[in-house]
Amino acid sequence: MSHNNQRNRVGADIAKRSCSKEAFIQHEKLTESEVGITEYVSTMEGFSAILKARYSDFHVNEINLQGQVAKLTSLEPPHFQEVVVNKEECEAAVEKILPNCCNEINTMLTSESSEPLQFDITDMSKEDRKNFHKNIKMIYQSTVIAQTINNDDRRFIKIEKYNKNNESCQRLKWPHNIGDYVHFLVYKECLDTMEACLRISSALNVKASSLTYAGVKDRRAKTTQWFSIKRYLPERIVNKTKGIRNVKVGNFEFKEEPLKLGQLKGNRFCLALRNVTVDNSIIESQMKSLNDNGFINYFGLQRFGCDKEVPTFAVGIKLLRGQWKEACELILKVKKTDFPRSDTTKAKQAYATTSNAQLALTEFARNRRTSLEYRLLEGLSKNNKNDYVNALSNIPRNSRLLYIHSFQSLIWNRVVSMRIKKFGLKPVIGDLVVIGNIAENETNLSDSESEEKNEIKGDSNINSRSKVKALTEGELDQYSIFDIVLPLPGYDIVYPENEIKNYYEELLKSYNLSLEMSKQNVKTYNLSGTYRKIMGKVQNFSWKVLHYNEPDDVLIRSDYEELCGEKEPEDQPNGKFKALIMDFCLDPCSYATMVVREVLKTDTNSVAHAKLNNYFEAENCKEENTQSKDFEKEHDLLSNKEKFEEFKKFVFAADDDGEPPSKIAKTDD
């Protein structure tokens, strides 16, 4: 291939890549200012860098209530160690709770009948039920299955023979010397937590609700977090999940209680900012400022859905006003940013033109389980034509609550910006603080940096039942800006006793809502309100500069990569590009993107960062242009005397038959 052809091909490839990238960028995204994110802590000038150029640039590891960071270190299921059982003591304990129970079980085991036994335990205490199950397991081990069931208003213990062909029995068969709940780590890449949960539950052949987790993690990231499930042998979990792409499970433990949403202390983040061009001294100054002064605890853009045409808070406003039809219409609205060939877009288009929900449902070939639009259309098709309330209830409750929590977050962001703009970064009279020990009031009800579509209790790390007080002049010296909280609107909260309360009132009034956020008939959409600290601080903070050569160089090693023996990425001293690696921990419900924003002083809008992500293409073009100039200079006739003379002979000279010479000095292709 000639040099020119090669150059043209490279240029075409670059153009093709750029064009493809632009084609899939959704330009109508919310900007930070549109959701109230306007202020900074530091007045230092920021610098340019790219956030999430690759999803492998963003790592999240959950921190449990004991302060342990979730890290995948083993993929092997644990081995059970049998404990010697004193059968007589166990039988005596059972007989004390349910007399003659063991005799009936022994009779059942020796009979040919498969009929189960049932014992009424409606009046039995929780402690007795727990001891009964524990001792039955120790006496009979895998020969019987015992479970608690409800029948009308009565509660029974059902005991049946173990049947290896019964899937339910396989799950209920359980070693007697371990807790009922399996806790394990889930490492995932480029999947949000709900999607990972659905894939795992499908592989295990259980309902998604059988799996529980403490918090929701990002999609465009590599994350590690705890899951739990009741009585499912780790060996089976490992075997059945092997085929799930981008998911690994391991580090199994057995506990008496399931994992619940909010049972986390925070998250550890390790992220890479690419193509940093400023001197290291500027980076060092910014890192020191961040560590010393913290950041404004804004709700990040992912909280609002990022789509400018129909942000999540727009639906939330309709729900809070009781405008059910309008809420449905917004959820099903065909947007400019919708991918035209997706099932969801086709279904929304069909509904927009026909108002026939049943017909619109036929457009779905895939994504039924994870599509909110599918669930809403299904609800519309099953209920009466104008029964929008019940149609909405077909959407999972957590997802519906997202909409109204998004509106709360919008109000909170705007108010905190006004508070800082008006009063600065010091406590003032009328500011709110939590009374008592903050640690006792922490609920840890959510996760930081979670994907927007599942984070519903991530408003605060302060208990919504916490008592707050307004500061007086004499108390100002006792508190810092890091103690100040602002409420998320609701019917059961206290507002600051200064100008900020008036601003809340004005904002809510502009949406035809009041400070009291009065309760409505549909309880799901009532908001009690909560409190959120206006400032956040990074913990266990470290950073380093890493040089690299290629745009797809891996800059951070994940848990799984370390487990597989891959080496930690090393600095390339002569690398063409420079990255900033930041490692820190945050409290629940704080956003790592807001930490990055404080450092860079730029919008965290994904479109803005995507536009910066062609830096390597510009570098390639620069190299190509340099090569082109060198090539042109080398083969330029005016700069090469010998070739110029050959050219003249070719043009002006002629053979005897009047034709130009058949050969001239040969040049390279």
Q: What share of the chain is helix, strand, coil (3-state, %, to 5)?
A: 40, 15, 45
Using left for φ > 0, alpha for ψ between -120 and 50, and beta otherwise, residue 311 falls in beta
Say yes or no: 116 and 75 in one domain: no
pLDDT reported for residue 86: 78
Average pLDDT over the chain reads 83
**Is 218 marked active-site?**
yes
Is the pLDDT at 634 greater than 50, yes or no? no
pLDDT surpassing 80 at residue 115:
yes
For 99, 412, 478, 509, 555, the CA distances from 487, given in Å and listed in that order, are 55, 7, 21, 16, 39
The residue among 540, 611, 552 whose CA lies nearest residue 582 is 540
What would the mean pLDDT of 161-168 be, rounded to a whole number?
Answer: 64
Per-residue pLDDT at 399: 81
Prediction pTM value: 0.74
What 3 state SS string does 28-49 have? CECCHHHHCCCCCCCCCCCCCC
Q: Which residues contact 437 (CB under 8 A, 6 or more apart)?
A: none
Contact 161, 109 (CB under 8 A): yes
Range with the largest mean pLDDT of 113-122, 530-539, 600-609? 530-539
- Which residues fall within 8 angstroms of residue 516, CB to CB, at 6 or more apart? 491
More confident residue, 129 or 644: 129
From 145, 172, 199, the end of a domain falls on 172
Res. 19: pLDDT tops 80: no
Task: Tell me, yes or no, whether 379 lies in a domain.
Answer: yes
Q: What is the pLDDT of residue 647?
A: 53
Question: Using 50, 70 and 90 to split pLDDT, how confident is the model at 218?
Answer: confident
18: pLDDT strictly greater than 90? no
Determine the average pLDDT of the residues in 613-620.
60
| Domain annotation covers residue 487 | yes
Residue 659 per-residue DSSP state = P
Q: Is residue 509 part of a domain?
A: yes
Strands in 468-470's sheet, in edge-to-edge order, are: 468-470, 432-434, 484-488, 530-533
As beta bridge partners, residue 440 has none
pLDDT in tens, 289-317: 999 999 999 999 888 986 888 999 999 99
pLDDT at 54: 92
CATH number at residue 432: 3.30.2350.20
Q: How far are the Cα atoms of 123, 128, 169, 185, 235 from residue 174, in angstroms, in the given order?
A: 26, 19, 9, 21, 13
Q: How many CA atoms within 13 Å lie on the side-chain side of 119? A: 22
Task: Give 3's pLDDT tier (boundaries 50, 70, 90).
Answer: very low
- Torsion, Cα 653 658 660 661, to 10 degrees, reads -90
Mark whether 435 and 355 lie in a shared domain.
no
Shared-domain flag, residues 71 and 193: yes
Confidence of residue 198 (pLDDT cuts 50, 70, 90): confident
Domain that holds residue 229: 65-80+178-263
* 205, part of any domain: yes
Same domain, residue pair 158 and 194: no
> Which of 104, 83, 108 lies closest to 95, judged by CA?
104
More confident residue, 439 or 558: 558
How many domains, the chain?
4
Dihedral sign for Cα 449, 279, 542, 298, please. Answer: negative
Domain CATH number, residue 229: 3.30.70.3160
Domain contains 605: no
Of all residues in the chain, the percent with pLDDT exceeding 90 is 52
263, 291, 323 - which closes a domain: 263
- Regarding whether 191 and 93 lie in a shared domain, the answer is no
463 and 329, same domain (yes or no): no
What is residue 628's predicted lDDT score, i.e. its pLDDT?
Answer: 41
CB atoms within 10 A of CB 66: 6
pLDDT mean over 418-446: 76
Task: Give the model's pLDDT for residue 620.
Answer: 53
Beta-strand ranges (E) seen in 238-355 are 247-255, 266-274, 295-296
In the chain, what is the straight-line distance between the N-terminal and C-terminal CA atoms, in Å? 8
- Whether residues 74 and 209 share a domain: the answer is yes
**Nearest Cα residue to 598 out of 282, 305, 297, 274:** 297
428/498 same-domain check: yes
Top-confidence residue, 289 or 162: 289
Domain identity same for 423 and 514: yes
Which CATH number goes with the domain that contains 102?
3.30.1370.50
Whether residues 217 and 74 share a domain: the answer is yes
Residues 385 and 310 both lie in one domain:
yes
> Which H or E element spans position 169?
helix 167-172
What percent of the chain clears pLDDT 70, i.e. is strictly above it? 77
8 Å CB contact between 270 and 555:
no
Can you read off the two tokens belonging to residue 270?
A: 């390790």
Please determine, for residue 437, whether its predicted confidence score (pLDDT) is greater than 90: no
Residue 76 has pLDDT above 50, yes or no: yes
Q: What is the mean pLDDT of residues 120-138?
A: 86
Looking at the predicted structure, is the pLDDT value of residue 16 above 60?
A: no
> Cβ distance 565 to 519 under 8 Å?
no
| Residue 578 counted as domain residue | no
Q: Which of 486-495, 575-584, 622-631 comes out lowest in average pLDDT? A: 622-631
Q: What's the pLDDT band for 357 if we cut at 50, 70, 90?
A: very high
- pLDDT tens for each residue of 456-485: 444 555 655 578 999 999 999 999 999 999
Looking at residue 336, what is its pLDDT?
Answer: 85
Cα distance between residue 42 and residue 650, in whole Å: 71
Q: Of 45-59, 329-343, 367-381, which gets the smallest average pLDDT?
A: 367-381
User: Looking at residue 8, what is its pLDDT?
Assistant: 41
Catalytic residue among 192, 218, 559, 587: 218
Confidence tier at 664 by pLDDT (50, 70, 90): very low
Residue in this structure with the two tokens 């909010």, named with its chain if needed = 262
Q: Does residue 585 form part of some domain?
A: no
Of 212, 237, 263, at which residue does a domain stop? 263
Domain membership of residue 390 (yes or no) is yes
- Does 72 share its domain with 221? yes
